[in-house]
Structures are given as structure tokens and as C-alpha cells.
Amino acid sequence: MSATAAATATATHTPLPVLGRDVLVPLVTGGEVDYAALDYAASAPALQRVWDDIAAYAPYYGSVHRGAGYLSQLSTDLFENSRKEVAAFLGCRPDDQVVFTRATTDSLNLLAAALPQGTRVFVFETEHHASLLPWQQRDGIEVGYLSAPRSPRQAVETLERALAAWRADDQEADTGAGAGAALVCVTGASNVTGELWPVRELAEVAHAHGARIVLDAAQLAPHHPVDIAALDVDWVAFSGHKLYAPFGAGVLAGRADWLRAARPYLAGGGASRKVALSVREGVGEVEVEWHTTEARHEAGSPNVIGAYAIASACKALTEAGFESLVARERRLIAKVREGLAEVDEVRVLSLFGDDAPRVGVISFVVEGWNSSHFAAALSAEYGIGVRDGLFCAHPLVRTLLGGEPGEAGECGAPETAPGERSLNAIRVSFGAGTPDEHVERFVGAVKELVRDGAKWSYRTEDGRCVPDRG
């Protein structure tokens, strides 16, 4: 075996070093165990490489774009070079802009604020709330919600019909001022099922009808390469805290024209090129010339630590090689799915079916258990951290659960209005930093809990299921 092949094989079987891998947590049954962080879809741990880079830079921290001193100049260079690193990671086109934001939610709200008046937005009901909700906050924007597809092909066909109908209505109503704008928002990988969406095909349909498309890559970017040019999307949004860089930053990258034409997302220093006060008829007015670069939407002192952390994570993942990372993750996915399939009481949630390609995000329910109770037992008795609930994707989870209720009054059952059913699920998610042992412990814990029940008693506290410690 060549040195390169040996290195690839090693990378395929070895997790990337992350913070928290040696943290010990107490068990209610006694003793301690190293914490199995299996909630990557909410927030992934920081890569050790990212932490080391941040620690090395921290003594040199200075103001960005605002000072002549050495540390200020160094920090400014670091911030702008981070932008270039992210652009390379995303395969940005020469004219694309990379705007640093707070997270995916912030990125998509920024884009929503930049939409031309009268834009029609098309979004599947299966989206995370970050990409489902921002559009209706804008006055003068129409939103069309598309029903949950049951296959990638059906997703493409649903969008095709919706855009064709929109184009026909738009042309019929056209008074000579030209056709209105349209935007399609779609996820790259579901934060509930982990299933990959047909992004390239959806982009082709969108562009064929004169619409633009934004990709929510929050769950895709940590697991698969994202190439704006290859996917032919207009914008990409993602969060650092899901990309092993949990330092409060995100990215909106893509076409510049709507961003340049829009009012600044925030008004303040950094976004303005020139500000002058003029007095007319005794009344003072402020005249502002705004930047047309990314700075237009980055008012205030930028989060240089967060931006640098994202750039560091992008570089680390690129150097590790997505081919080997994907191969290793597929092996972990198979291990989890095969283990869960051996438990008759477990039902894995899926839109596109068992054979659909996916990332390391799997949601399920367990017959006879409220999901909050099950997740609490995994944590308290096995040191395993998962997520339970509706995962900020309420319409999708309710569709997938098909109205299966939790038992009324059971520990941790979500509060509902009279006549409504209590619905929630369990989500396990993992990635490049997950050791095999954590996945194996999880599968074993699920089997043991279903077979033997919980070893401890639990109660509801502030809507959460927690161990009853007397």
C-alpha cells in the first residue's frame, strides 16, 4: 500500500480531533463515562485545529478595518483572508460576495431583507425554521409553501409545477414593467432525516423559469463538499457552529447584485463609506454613501474570531479530504441504521425511503416511550447526548410522525393545546469527530433501554424529562 493510500485508509477509520472528546460526565447509576456527543446537527464540537488556530491568534487580536496599528492591520488581514478561504471552500464565482453573519438564520434573514419588492419565494414545508420563516417577515413578499415530497424526483416535479404556474400568472398580470422576481429556498441535507436533496436538479428548474435559488447548507457543508458553481445555486448559507467552529459566526455567499441594491442589513459604522450632515431650512439631514462590497451588510465591529474559526474549519476539512470523511461517515451511518433496524419497537423517520443517500443525521421514535423520556435516559444512564423534540422543523416532523402521539402525562411529554396530540422524536447526529465507540454505545443503549427499561425514575421539570433525585 502506498503512503497516500495508507493515509487515506487511516483517515477513513479515525475521527478528526475535537474538543470535549475526553470530558467525563457522571451517571445517575454511579461512576463516570466519557461523554458521547451525538448532537452534531445542533452544534458540532470545535475541531482541535480550529481551537489551536484561535488560541494562537488571540494575543494579536485587534480592531478590524479601523486602525493603523500593527495588531489592527494584522486582524484586518486575517479577517479578509478568512473571507477568501471560505470563498475557496465554497467554490465561489469571481463576482460572488462572502458576507459574514451570525449563523444560517441570520444569513437567510439578511437575504430576505435584500429581496426586491414583489419577489415570490418558494419554500418546501420540510425546511428548518431558519429557512422557512424569514420570508414572511418582509412586507411586499409573497411566499408559496410547497408540500413535502416523498422522493427527490417528486421534489423537482413539485417545484416545476409551482414555478410554471407562477410564471404563467406573472406573465398574465404583466403590465409592461417586466416579470417579477422569484426565489427558491431549499435545504441541502435535512436536519431531521439527514437525507440529501437534489440541489443541482432544483437549481436547473429554478433557472429555467427565471427564478433564483438559495441553498441552506447548514447540515450539508459539514459532511459533503459544497460548490456554488457546480451546484449552480445563487446563494449558500451555513453556520460555523455546525462546521466545527462554534464561535458565533455564519456565512451568506453568492450573487452580489441584490445585496448591493438592498438597504444595509444594519445601519452603522463599517457599512458606510461617507456620512455628512447637511442643514436645509434649519433642519439637519444625514446623507450616507453606503459600501457596495460585503461591508455593506457587516456593520459594527466584525466577529473576527468567528470568521477565522470558520476559515480554519474549512481548511481543516479540505485538507482531511471529503472523500475519506464521507466514506467514514457512511460506515457510521450504516452501523446506526443496522443497529436500530434490529429493534422492532424503533421506527426511523424518512421522507425519501431507506435507500436515500444521507448524512449522519437520523431521527426515530420508540414504541412505548415518549421521546423526551428516552433521550433523558440515554443521557443520565449512558452519558449519551442526543436531541429530542421537533428540531425547529415542526411541519416536517409532524408530517413524518403521522399523528403518532406520546402517552398523555408521560415524563417530558410536550405540552399541547386541548385536543392536540403530543408529538416529538429523538435525533442522533454525528460527524467527522465521532469515535466508533460512541456510535456503538448508542446502539447498545437503545437495545438495552427497549429490552429492560430505564434503571432510574424520571420526572418532568420545566417541560423537560429529568432524573428524579428525590
Helix/strand/coil for 85: helix
Cα separation, 374 vs 90, in Å, equals 38
Which three three-digit cell numbers place residue 41? 446537527
Instruction: Using alpha carbons, select from 425, 408, 388, 412 the residue that is nearest to residue 465.
Output: 412
Which residues on neighbouring strands pair with residue 347, listed in sequence order? Answer: 365
By the 10 Å C-beta count (0-12 exposed, 13-18 middle, 19+ buried), 326 is classed as middle
Contacts of 30 (CB under 8 A, 6+ apart): none
Cα separation, 320 vs 16, in Å, equals 8
Which residues on neighbouring strands pair with residue 383, listed in sequence order? Answer: none
Cα separation, 119 vs 181, in Å, equals 5
Length of the chain: 470
Upper half-sphere CA count for residue 442 (Cβ side, 13 Å): 30
Which three three-digit cell numbers place residue 256? 452580489
CB 54 within 8 A of CB 60: no
CB 252 within 8 A of CB 272: no
Cα separation, 163 vs 315, in Å, equals 38
Helix/strand/coil for 403: coil
Instruction: Using alpha carbons, select from 275, 430, 290 the residue that is nearest to residue 360.
Output: 430
Q: What backbone torsions phi and psi does residue 198 show, to the nearest 5 degrees?
A: -80, 70
Catalytic residue among 92, 185, 314, 392: 392
Instruction: Measure Cα distances from 115 to 131, 134, 138 in Å.
Output: 14, 11, 9
Instruction: Measure Cα distances from 27 to 217, 399, 455 in Å.
Output: 36, 35, 11
Is 392 in the active site? yes
Q: Which residues are catalytic?
A: 392
